[in-house]
Structure 1
Amino acid sequence: MSGGRHRCLALAGALALSCGDPTAPAQAPPVPAADAEPPQPRASCAIGGVKSGLRVYYAFDEGEGASVNDCSGNAIHGQIVSPARSTWVEGHTGGALLLHGEDSCVDVGSSILADTYSSFTATAWVHVHSLSSAANARLVGRSHDVTVEGWELSFRPDGKVAFLLSRESGGPLVVEVAAPIGRWAHVAAVFRPGEEAVLWIDGARVASAPATFSSFVHDPTAHLRIGCRKETVDDALHGAVDEVRIYARALAAYEIAELAL
């Protein structure tokens, strides 16, 4: 027996360890089962701020990878489209995802809970770097790829941020105001069925329009997307996004002010 083997046995006796046979063949690592589930986004993230009615919450604190974790607890995770054309950066709170205005955005799919078809609130921190000269740049929204039925919060070529809601007739309801560009800003859109649609910037109510309809026109198969309008990455955003939240209710003024801190 070699001196190294003697020393190992002595140490094993003292510390209740075992010594392998150095002449034994190395064991192969375990092979995962064929039906093993793929890795999921990290599920451990704190929910700060307003929690009641929260349906999805993307903190963008991953710092790497091609998945975006839903911190609401509803497990509606997102996937980054063309992750090589986006960059994890420092955000307003923790991390953020910088989208470069082409070929990249976050696709959440169509499984967002159905109770957001009526009263709802969408909020986000965003740092817009530049606006497209030809198309809207979507911050967040859920609408049909072709008919655009649904809703969206987007930045327009004319320098405005707009909240759009599809309705049965008369074209979409549009609420718009001058957009904050080149800095971090908190943007919130609120829909109160039968009452109004409202835009908030940095915790202040800045624009509204009457909304006499009880629910907006929508397609249940449409995907929720952050940073673009459809799977071909049309209407792509050039800027960083952080702290995206959607609630199945209309938040009060004090709640929006809390999220805008």
Structure 2
Amino acid sequence: VLAGLDLTDNLIGWWKLDETSGTSASDASGAGLTGSLTTPLPQWQTGGRLNGALLFTGQVGQSVTVANATALNPTTAISASAWVNASVWNGNNRILQKGNTDNQYRLLAEGGKFVWEISGVGRLETTLPPVNQWVHIASTYDGDRMVIYFDGAEVASLAVTGAVPVTANPLHIGTKTAASGAQNHLNGMLDQVRLYGRALSAAEVGQLSLEGNTISIAAIDAAARKGTGDTGLFTVTRSGPTTSALSVPLLPSGSAMTGVDFTLTPALAGFAIPAGQSSANLLVQPIDSVTVTGPTTATLALGSVPGYLPGNPSSTVTIQDSPLNDWKITSFGSLAAAQGADAADNAD
């Protein structure tokens, strides 16, 4: 997590859409702004960007409707964000809207463009995001500037001023209003919808765009032994998209020496999680030696991986000495004695 960022600050509503069943979308912000699913119901999905999601099918009547509340009417600044996986961009597909006659704020595709509009303040347009893949979309307004972000990168901005209008209308997620024409309804999935009463910073939007993108390392088999064929195993795991290979820099440390006490397969140089896979392994193969070492450790730590937040950052495999060398340590009373000249001379 990036230091100094509080993504709960002035969070109006946070609809995770993880319920998987029922006709309510709970508000994880703690404000109690529960959304109601209207018929024909959007379809709960278990394979969202983060846990569950809602699939909207572009039908009249379909909506997640949040009753009007004072918090939904910020006037000086506002931000909205969501993970979106659109099946198609056609018509005027809404991510969210408040103001039944386009008279408050809305985030949508319209006229072949992607639009962030605050009535009476400004209309910001950019190219449409891709379809059939998850894209993190965020829009902000700080009283001086409107901005649209895709996957954490600013794609459009507009210098404007003015107060955000206030209406008594509900907030609609996935449509303009439940009863509006089919062209106003989203075709695709939504996940992790957030609304703020302030302008998120670029760093905060960047962090939100990394939700679910984590990289971790774990010692799945944390013990190996020289002279026995007993190996250890590290597994590096990513969450998030797997469409491309992911290069992962790994930093070795510990008392065991690579190439002297053990080898790693594959080698650290060029290590990557292959496309289509969420994890990849590194085999720890101890190297047998007459040199008495006692137990040693091989630690691997994750380097920086752009676009990913660290999960478990490091892990360790303990490499036990060979049975013969362990016998020497026991027979001579200590590791230091077993490493001495007398032990080498008298081992037989």
TM-score relative to the length of structure 1: 0.73
Residues 44-79 of structure 1 show CA distances to partners (whole Å, capped at 9, x for unaligned) of: xxxx97111111000011000110000000000000
Match of 1:229 among 160, 176, 180: 176
Question: Are positions 1:153 and 2:107 aligned together?
Answer: yes
Alignment coverage as a number of residue pairs: 202
Query: What is the CA-CA distance between 1:254 and the residue it aligns to?
Result: 0.7
| SS of residue in 1 equivalent to 2:59 | coil
- Whole-Å separation in 1 of the counterparts to 2:42 and 2:95: 17
Residues 163-193 of structure 1 show CA distances to partners (whole Å, capped at 9, x for unaligned) of: 01111xxxx6211111212210000010111
Are the structure 2 counterparts of residues 187 and 49 from structure 1 closer, same or farther at C-alpha, using a change threshold of 3 Å?
Answer: farther
Q: Which has the larger radius of gyration?
A: 2
Amino acid at match of 1:131: W
- Whole-Å separation in 1 of the counterparts to 2:46 and 2:111: 25
Question: Are positions 1:185 and 2:135 aligned together?
Answer: yes
Match of 1:55 among 2, 12, 17: 12
| SS of residue in 2 equivalent to 1:255 | helix
| SS of residue in 1 equivalent to 2:156 | strand
Query: What is the CA-CA distance between 1:116 and the residue it aligns to?
Result: 1.9
Residues 59-100 of structure 1 show CA distances to partners (whole Å, capped at 9, x for unaligned) of: 011000110000000000000111545343411001000000
| SS of residue in 2 equivalent to 1:65 | coil
1:8 is matched with none
Say if 1:57 and 1:72, in contact at 8 Å, map to a contact too: yes
Amino acid at match of 1:142: K
Q: Could you tell me which runs of 5 or more consecutive residues in structure 1 were left unpaired when the two chains were aligned.
A: 1-47
1:202 is matched with 151
Amino acid at match of 1:120: I
- Whole-Å separation in 1 of the counterparts to 2:176 and 2:72: 19
Say if 1:56 and 1:112, in contact at 8 Å, map to a contact too: no
Q: Could you tell me which runs of 5 or more consecutive residues in structure 2 were left unpaired when the two chains were aligned.
A: 211-348
Match of 1:82 among 39, 49, 64: 39
Say if 1:117 and 1:216, in contact at 8 Å, map to a contact too: yes
- Whole-Å separation in 2 of the counterparts to 1:49 and 1:126: 23
Question: Are positions 1:130 and 2:85 aligned together?
Answer: no
- Whole-Å separation in 2 of the counterparts to 1:58 and 1:243: 6
Residues 207-256 of structure 1 show CA distances to partners (whole Å, capped at 9, x for unaligned) of: 0111122x12332x111110011130431000100000011111111111
- Whole-Å separation in 1 of the counterparts to 2:21 and 2:111: 31
Amino acid at match of 2:67: G
TM-score relative to the length of structure 2: 0.55
Describe how 1:1-261 pairs up with structure 2 within 5 A.
50-103=7-60, 104-111=62-69, 113=71, 116-132=74-90, 135-143=91-99, 145=100, 147-158=101-112, 160-167=113-120, 173-180=122-129, 181-193=131-143, 195-213=144-162, 215-219=163-167, 221-234=168-181, 235-261=184-210
Are the structure 2 counterparts of residues 95 and 200 from structure 1 closer, same or farther at C-alpha, using a change threshold of 3 Å?
Answer: same
